[in-house]
Structure formats: structure tokens, C-alpha cells
Amino acid sequence: MEIYFTTTTTSINLLTDDILFKIISHLTYESDRKSFRSTCKNFSRVESLHRTHIRILRPEYISPLLSKFLQISSLDLSDCPSIYDAVAATLLPSLRRLKRLNLSRCTGLRSAGLEMLARGCVFLESVDVSYCCRFGDREAAALSCAAGLREICLDKCLNVGDVGLGNIAVGCFKLERLSVKWCFGVTDVGIGLLCAKCDQLKHLDISYLKVTSESVRSISTMENLEVLQMVGCGLVDDMGLHYLANTCPSLQVLDISRCNKLSSSALVSFIKGHRNHLLQLHTSYCFPEISMTFVHQVENLKKLNILRIDGAQVSDSVLQIISQNCGFLVEIGLGKCRGVTDNGIMRLVSGCVILKALDLTCCSELTDSSILAIANSCRNLVCLKIECCNLLTENSLYYLGSHCLLLEEIDLTDCPGVNDIGLEYLSKCSEILSLKLGLCTNISDKGLFYIASNCKNIRELDLYRCIGIGDDGLAALSRGCKKLRKLILSYCTEVSDRGIGCLGLLEELSSLELRSLNNVTGSGLRTLAAGCKRLAELDLKNCESIDDSGFCALAYCSKNLQQINFSGCKVSDMGLCTVMGYLTRIQDAKLVNIVKVTVNGFELALRASWGLKKLKLLAHFRRLISPEIINNLEAKGCKIRWD
């Protein structure tokens, strides 16, 4: 034994840093990298030298980790919403090489801190400040000091207006990618200034802005623009598409989903001007019906690889034309389309044989014949969504398990024909990462055993209201699916403490939904908390049998929790105060109908909380809880919903 240990240790020490670097570069999963650096001190040293990206989960770890990892060029602080301007000053010496910075939901950083980072990080190219509810025009002006920025995400920065966007446009003239989705303060004026100053822009997302066709007129002057997303821009009319018809020569992707003032005739004029280079076209929920005029123009889009027409009325002949003329399609969206039949799907896949993603959600007329045609023609299929296709049987899963072995994502929600035999067939698709089986009431632990035995890489599993699933199924899951990250078990009423305890073996589990599991007590939750250290989202709504012992276990063990739903639970004042005081990363808390918590208990818990950004309480507590506490939470950027 001693000789073997010595020989192995010597062999490891012979590996040079270059060889170890190559090994690390092939480790794509964080769990594998963790195992690597835990092997020995030398491996840990090499990993710290190799690491260029880091996501920090707790603010107190920022300085120690940045002093350890000296080659960091990409930093994610989105899980540290409580950092403030003072922290920015201490970070600067460690961030000289920084190129990418994620500050999403970091509402504590204001203009002073952002300006320090913008001026101090001279190589900074990308910044994400999405969902920073206190980010406004002053913060945008501070960010504009980073003249080298090429990518900025401002999604749902509700206080940013034309002035802030104008500052960014003037200061960050090298911008190539910009998203201002849900920035309701931005108008045609701001978009006009952006287009005048940032002529290198390649990717622009103005989804859900209250802009008109005048903004599209400004955008039409951008010769380098490749991607334009304008989902839900309800004030843009046909004139907007006419402005784009013979402009933006580099445009490859257009998303006009949910733009309900547009007509298919305007889209036809746009297609005529971009037939030679358009790669993606998204028109979901835009037109009530796909006209033949539009379809005949699609014939000319020979390079089109993604087409989404969800929500429209289609016919077999429409799908036939698409099949004959769009042979390069790798994705097509027909979700909630009316008129989709077996005949139409057979025609479609006969020509679109390289499809990788197909959305047939709520196409309720389809039968096993459609799935057979898909399985025979589309052997490279990776994603298939067939939610609410209630005429399908286990035979469909047999066809998929026999031919579509590359499947990674499949949605079978509310497909009553799915049963244990079908899951046995489907388990042959061993590459599945995401499997949705919600409302499939004919499956049991036996079917889950087949999935757990063969689908080792699964990351997301939805078993919502699968009433046949119990503890034995979860035991099999915990043995076979060690990489599971998200699990939904709500209303699986046969699950008890034994099954929940088994889930404690899933070290990578980060999101768990357990609504209305009344056989689960504090004992099961204690075992779960002790094992699942990465748990970030936990929904225990209406789990009435869990007592304070379970909630206290969460407080002591689940330090990474960010979102909790304790609505309808039997937690007391002490349990809630312990959770809110000990768990410093909680950002979103739903605390409705908690009958054992008094007004005083709520006040103590809210005073003890660290960085709440969303809070849900019963409406009558609004006049009972101290105004000082409410004002203090809102001043820190917390959005309170009174139900």
C-alpha cells in the first residue's frame, strides 16, 4: 500500500503545468473542477492560475478569492446584491485585468462606485447591470466612463431614460451589443441618439419599449447591425418594417414577436430586401394567420435556419412550402399554432431533415404518426416540445428512443399517454438534460427508475402533480442522477421524509419545489439541508407538517439560499427570524398566510434580513408593520407585493 501511494504521488508530480492546463481546459463542469483542485496542493495551485472566470456567492469571500485567483478576467457578482460603493474601492487593485463584469441585481452600487470601476478597469469590455432597480441616469453616466465597453446589458433598469442612454451612447462609442429590454423610460429620442453615435452596434434589443416606428427609422441607418430584437413593441407599425426593407445590409436576425400592429404585407416587404442574408426570423404571436403571400416570400430565404411562427393559423400547404424551400432550418416554432396536423408535420420533416429543435406545444391534433415521421427524418433532434399533445401514446416515446438518441430536452407536460413503458423507451436517449413530465399522472416510481438508471446527465426534471411518484422513485433518482440541479415535486403527495432525505445526496441540486407535500416534516427537511449545500431556490408553499426544526436546519446549513416560499407553512416567529437572520443571501421571500407568525415576528424577521429585493406579504400587514421598516426596505430597493 505504501509503495503504491508513493508511486502514484511521484507520477502526479511528474505532470507539468502545461499538461495540467490542458486537462483543466477539458473539465466543463464545476463539480469536476472542484474534484481536480481537491486532489492535491499542486493541482489546486495550477487551477488557481488557470481560472479566468469566477462567480462569487457571498460578499465576504470577494477579497480572499480575488487575491487567490490572479488571472481573473471575468467576474460575476450577481449573487452579491448587498455590495456597496465602498466595496468597489477595495476591489480595484485585484481587477486590473478584468474584461467582463456581471453586476446584475447589485442594487447597492450607485454612481460613485460604478465610476470607480469604470475608470479603474481599463480593459473592461462587457458589463451587465440588469435588474438593478436603483440604476438610473446618474449611474448610466458613471458607466459611460468606461470608453472601451463593447457590450452592456441594462434589462429592466426602470430608472434609465433618454439622458442616461445618451450618456452611454456618447461615452461608449465602441458598443457592439446593447440590451435595453424593459427600460420603459427610453423613448424614440434615446434610440435616435444611440443610433447616431454607436455606428459599430451589431446586436440591439429594444424589446417591450414604448417606442414607435421613428425608432426603427433611426435603427435603419445602422449598417453593421446584425441582430434586432423588438419583442412586444406594440407601438411599432408597418412603417417601421418598411424603413428596414432596404436598409441594415448586415441584418441576419429579426425578432418581432408580439408586435401586434404589424401586418404580413409589411413583413413581406422586409423579406424582399433581406432575402440573401437573413438567418433567423421570429414572428411568434404577431399574426393571426400565416398568409400564402408571406410563405411564398419565405421561399427566397435560402439561408434561413430558425423560423418561429408560434400562435398563428397554419395549413398543410404552408408547411409543405417551408419544407421544400427551407432545407437549412435547424429550428422551427409551431407552438400553439392552429391547424397543425399529422399530414402537415409529415410534409414539413420530409424536407427539413437537419432540424435540431421543434416546438409543437399545444398542437393537440397530432398523433403517434407525427412523432414517427419526426423520429425517422430528424435523427439529429436535440429539443422537442410536445406539451399538451394528448393523443400521443407510449409508441411515440418508442420511436424517439429508437431513433433520436441525441435528444437533450423534451417537454411531455400534460401528455396523458406517457406511462412507465414509455419512459423505459425514452430512457434510451441517454443524453437528456431536461425532462418535463408535469401532469403525467400515469407514471410511477418504476418509470422514474428507468430514467434514473440510464439518463445520468439529466440537469432538470419536472414531476409536477405526478401523483404516482413516491419515495422509491426519489431514491433511484438520487443514486443515478447526481448532476441534477432543478427538481419540481409539487403535489406529489406520496413523497415523505424518506424520499426527501434521499435528495440530500444530490450535491449539485440548486432549485427545489415541494408545494403541498404534507407527508414531509422537519426531519426530512433537516436531512435535505445537510446534504444540498448549493440549494439556492426552495419552494415549500403549503407544506404544513414542517416545524421550526426544519426551518432552523435551513438557516444553519443552506447558506446559499436566495429565493424562499414559505407561504402556508407552520413556521413560527422564532423559525422565521432565524432563517431571515442567518441566511444573508436571500433576495426573494414569499411569506403569505403564515398563521403562526405574529406582527412582531414579521417585524423582527424583516429587520434581521440582509438584502431583500422582493417580498410578498398579506395586504392587511401593510397597516400593521412599522412604516419605518417598510420605508427602510423600499429605500434599499426592495419591491413589496401586498396580496
Average pLDDT over every residue of 119-131: 95
- Residue keyed to cell 430558425: 306
- What backbone torsions phi and psi does residue 241 show, to the nearest 5 degrees? -70, -30
**What residue has cell string 451589443?**
177
Region 190-208: what's the mean pLDDT? 97
> Mind listing the pLDDT tens digit for each residue in 14-65?
677 667 767 776 777 666 666 666 677 666 666 666 688 899 887 888 888 8
Q: Which of 544, 549, 602, 550 is nearest to 570 (CA)?
A: 544
Where would I find the H helices in 532-592?
548-557, 573-582
Per DSSP, the residues of 187-206 read -HHHHHHHHHH-TT--EEE-
pLDDT at 231 over 90: yes
What are the cell numbers at 190?
Answer: 434615446
| φ, ψ at 628 (rounded to 5°) | -60, -45
pLDDT of residue 2: 41
Question: CA 430 to CA 442: how far, in whole Å?
Answer: 22
Is residue 3 pLDDT above 50, yes or no?
A: no
Give the pLDDT confidence of 472-490 residue by residue, as tens digits. Answer: 999 999 999 999 999 999 9
**Residue spans of beta strands (DSSP E) within 476-544:** 486-488, 511-513, 537-539
pLDDT digit string, tens, across residues 267-306: 999 999 998 899 999 999 999 998 888 888 888 888 999 9
Spatial separation of the C-alpha atoms in residues 12 and 47, rounded to whole Å: 15
For the cut 90, the answer to whether the pLDDT of residue 523 exceeds it is yes
How far is the C-alpha of 77 from the C-alpha of 56, rounded, in Å?
A: 6
pLDDT digits (tens, 9 = 90+) for 130-139: 999 889 999 9
3-state DSSP call for residue 317? helix
Write out pLDDT tens, residues 566-610. Answer: 999 999 999 999 999 999 889 999 999 999 999 999 999 999 998
Q: CA neighbours within 13 Å on the CB side: how many for 378? A: 32
Residues 449-467 have a mean pLDDT of: 97
How many residues comprise the chain? 643
Mean pLDDT of 197-203: 97
Give residue 42's pLDDT.
63
**DSSP state letter for 376:** H
Question: Residue for cell digits 459611460?
Answer: 144
Burial (0-12, 13-18, 19+ Cβ within 10 Å), 355: buried
- 424 touches 396 (CB < 8 A): no
pLDDT grade, residue 1 (50/70/90)? very low
Radius of gyration of the chain (CA): 27
**Helix or strand or coil: residue 601?**
helix
Q: Which residue has the higher pLDDT, 80 or 256?
A: 256
In the prediction, which pLDDT does 45 show? 67
> In angstroms, rounded to a whole number, what is the distance separating the alpha carbons of residues 465 and 451?
18
What are the grid coordinates assigned to 232, written together? 412586444
Count other Cβ atoms within 10 Å, centred on residue 26: 7
DSSP character string of 275-310 = TTT--EEE-TTT-SB--HHHHHHHTT-TT--EEE-T
Query: In terms of C-beta density within 10 A (0-12 exposed, 13-18 middle, 19 or more buried), how is residue 563 classed?
Result: middle
Give the pLDDT band of residue 7 (cuts 50, 70, 90).
very low
Per cent of the chain over pLDDT 70 is 93
Q: Which residues contact 54 (CB under 8 A, 6 or more apart)?
A: 65, 66, 69, 72, 74, 75, 76
Q: 503 near 528, Cβ under 8 Å?
A: yes
139-189 per-position pLDDT tens digit: 999 999 999 999 999 999 999 999 999 999 999 999 999 999 999 999 999
The predicted pLDDT at position 600 comes to 97
DSSP code string of 418-471: --HHHHHHHTT-TT--EEE-TT-TT--HHHHHHHHHH-TT--EEE-TT-TT--H
Distance (Å, rounded) from C-alpha 250 to C-alpha 363?
35
Q: Do the Cβ atoms of 358 and 385 come closer than 8 Å?
A: yes
pLDDT digit string, tens, across residues 374-432: 999 999 999 999 999 999 999 999 999 999 999 999 999 999 999 999 999 999 999 99
User: Binning pLDDT at 50, 70 and 90, where does residue 66 land?
Assistant: confident
Q: What is the pLDDT of residue 89?
A: 82
Segment (H or E) for 126 = strand 126-128
